[in-house]
Amino acid sequence: MKPSLEDTLRAAIRTIPDYPKPGILFRDITTLLGDAGAFRRAVDELVHPHAGNKVDKIAGIEARGFILGGAIAHQLSAGFIPIRKKGKLPHKTVRIAYSLEYGLDEMEIHSDAVTPGEEVILVDDLIATGGTAEGAVKLLRQMGAEIVSACFVIDLPDLGGRAKLEALGVDVRTLIAFEGD
């Protein structure tokens, strides 16, 4: 019998304690990406609700959101937009500050990456406090994007990110949850 989605993903994600600093359980998806069956299943599950719908672009958050987002964009015949840390994009950009666990950072998008009214799906590997995804949603909306959904392989529900995005009126889809942080 085919293992459940939950079992497949849980077995394929590696947990690294105390990375990048003491007390953090880092959920490493490189093992999932390296497992052809698990990678395909994760992408298929994220694509499935949108199959046959009009989606103009997938916006992926640097860096793991690029890998998942590229695969999803291909499946949905959508374009791909990179959302990057400041200073990495070569053309004119729009920038937003967003909150991290400790302090602030800034992310950017090319100013011509979205045409107002375009239907966009936001993608990252994991949602924790939701600060990163919230910044990305605000940036995309500022450019006139309609956010169809925000999707992530992993949810850390105890950190409240999903609730933060839902409070902004964003449909959130995650495939697997890990308790704690």
Q: Taking the complex as a whole, how short is the minimal distance between the CB of residue 1 and ligand AMP, in angstroms?
A: 30
**Who contacts 17 (Cβ-Cβ below 8 Å, separation ≥6)?**
24, 25, 26
149 is a site residue for ligand AMP (CB under 6 A): no
Given the residues 6, 101, 146, 166, the one annotated as active site: 101
- At residue 57, the 3 state secondary structure works out as strand
Given the residues 27, 41, 64, 173, the one annotated as active site: 64
- Among the listed residues 66, 67, 62, 72, the one whose alpha carbon sits nearest the alpha carbon of residue 107: 62
Angle at which helix 64-76 crosses helix 36-47, to 10 degrees, equals: 60
12 is a site residue for ligand AMP (CB under 6 A): no
Query: Judged by CB, which is closer to ligand AMP: 27, or 41?
Result: 27
174 is a site residue for ligand AMP (CB under 6 A): no
Amino acid residing at 46? L
Contacts to ligand AMP by CB under 6 A: 24-27, 61, 64, 124-133, 161
